Amino acid sequence: MMGTDGHHSVTRWARAWSGCALQRHKLLLTAVGAACVAAGILVAVLVPQSDGPAWAMAVAGCLAAGVLLLTRVAVAWLRPSGPPLRPGGGSAL
């Protein structure tokens, strides 16, 4: 029963988590990652350090989000786009 609504929703979820957004929107995700890093630097420079742990957490959060996003984009860019490997380690072809 390939035409049922249940099958359609499963394929929609599979597409949503397959990494297609990373392939389609690399430039946008790179810009967002760079903006997160820039926001972390701006918070570190502009906000007085007298705010204590909140200041440190804001800086660490912005920098971490930006670095993680940029790293994810870089890994996707460097990873070969060939066919996925089978569980046994061989090529799918």
pLDDT band at 4 (very low <50, low <70, confident <90, very high): low
Rg (CA), the chain: 20
Mean model confidence pLDDT for the chain? 75
| 10-30 mean pLDDT | 71
pLDDT band at 43 (very low <50, low <70, confident <90, very high): confident
Phi and psi angles of residue 85, each rounded to the nearest 5 degrees, phi first? -80, 145
Q: Which pTM does this prediction carry?
A: 0.62
Domain parsing of the chain, residue ranges: 24-78
**How far is the first Cα of the chain from the last one, in angstroms, to the nearest whole number?**
27
Query: Token digits for 60?
Result: 């660490």
- The answer on pLDDT for 92 being more than 70 is no
- pLDDT number for residue 79: 75
